[in-house]
Structure 1
Amino acid sequence: MAQGIQMPYLNWDYKDQQLAFSEWKDFLESYLVIINVDEAKKWHYNLLSVGTKGREFWETWQLSPNQKADSSGILKKFEEHLIGTPNNGRQSVIAKLNIQPPDVSRRVTLRFKADTGANGSIMPIRCMQQMYLNKDDRRKVIQRNRATLTAVNETAIHHHGVVKMPVQLNDSTWITSVFYVCERDGPAILSCDASEKLGKIKVKKSRNISAVTDTAAGKQIKDTDDLQRVYPDRSEGLGNMPGEYDIELKEDASPVVALPRKYRSNLETKYG
């Protein structure tokens, strides 16, 4: 153990094997940098961190001394055994970030999913456990927060609080991002705002959709006249509220601008 960070271990039983390998590889590389291990000796740590199942594979490879000294080649072999040959044509919005955890003297790297539909960033608790071996150390850096998180399907997401961490993409400017610490199996999530600030994604300003297609009726709705013609039973009257009502505002009321939600980047070619 070095600087309060435990040596990572490859989780062979984790259901998302791609994510298990990526997180293990990222944390292992950071760990070896922190303790300043020579390239020729890195294979010892690879062997220790892959567990019993990984060592069984290791024995079948019968590596030469030169092959053992090739750390990237060893990681490649474990990747192929764990998830198969990587698909180089696969495209995903994944960012490998440098992060500076509070009270940890060295920075670490971690993969995040840049989510254009996320208003907040999420740090899985398992990632916090990798960075902070001691539970009390984790509790010290996680701040209480009463915000309510809601998933796309409207279900509530429980969180333990927030942690503020400086993050950097490649050689970009460091920014401080707030992460909600949650129990989740998926990857760490980087919010749309943070992703834009780091230059990982670029979301164009929202624009009104010029036409909406009614797939059921097979007609195109270009304006309000078309809308009234397609749905005549929903376009009459002012509603069911009886009488008149005056809306009164408080004297100290502050005006609020509700900006339109930015659409997902994968819809840009369809509606952009």
Structure 2
Amino acid sequence: MAAETTDTTGTAGAGGGGGNGRWAPGDQILWRYRGNARPGTGGGIHICRPVTVVEDTAELLAVWMAPGTDCVKPLLADGTPVHREPLATRYTKPRTTSVTRWYGPGVLKLARPGEPWSVWLFWDLDWRFRNWYVNLEEPLARWAGGVDSEDHFLDIAVYPDRSWEWKDEDEFAQARRAGLMTDAQAERVRAAGRAAVELVEAWGPPFTAGWERWRPDPAWPVPALPEDWDRTPVDHMPVDRAPVDRTPARVEGVNPV
């Protein structure tokens, strides 16, 4: 696991957890993703989810995204939801962002420092455990207000009977065709996926840690989405962005990213 937090804002610990730069259970932070862009061009924040810290140690960051949370998600500039756009043009048409409310069951997210994936736990509304979801991504970068990453399209669903399957392989292939990652980057993602599969097949943590029996503190409020949700970790100042539709809209919570 990684060493102590380095906060690029110069205000280590500002996100909670005191002088050791770690957050305390119940602290509210932002879990964000940069937009995927062609190599060398960079991408601004296009996904932002306010979450509550469950645990933050040198070995693990665990956070809870509660039902009813207002989140930022990408949207095509013409208003079409990304998942409804044909795959051939899904990654080439102009995009903006919108705010939607997460109406499905909550999601528990687990990330170990330095690992190129996070593991998410899903339940049904009656708290019957559904599955784990290995989201392949850049290792989380911590800052005072939360954590940032970049999604790598390819994912793995893991089920209570220890079976697993690749998810979104079509999107991964299309992202490569659209120039959103080089061949070398794609191979690194595949290698990370193979390493994650080895962990699944060995049935190591977090699959053996009992997180599926975890429940949130009922006293925790639903975190609010701040106006400056896309502020930069360097100076905490908001950056220019396209107008955001802040009318909450129902989301199904099926495709995590």
Aligning the two structures, in what range does the TM-score lie when normalised by the shorter sequence? Answer: under 0.3
Instruction: Say which structure is richer in helix.
Output: 1
Structure showing greater Rg = 1
TM-score (ref. length: structure 2): 0.27
Instruction: Tell which has more relative contact order, 1 or 2 (C-alpha 8 A, sep 6+).
Output: 2
After TM superposition, the score normalised by the length of structure 1 is 0.26
**Hey, which of these two has a bigger chunk of strand by percent?**
2
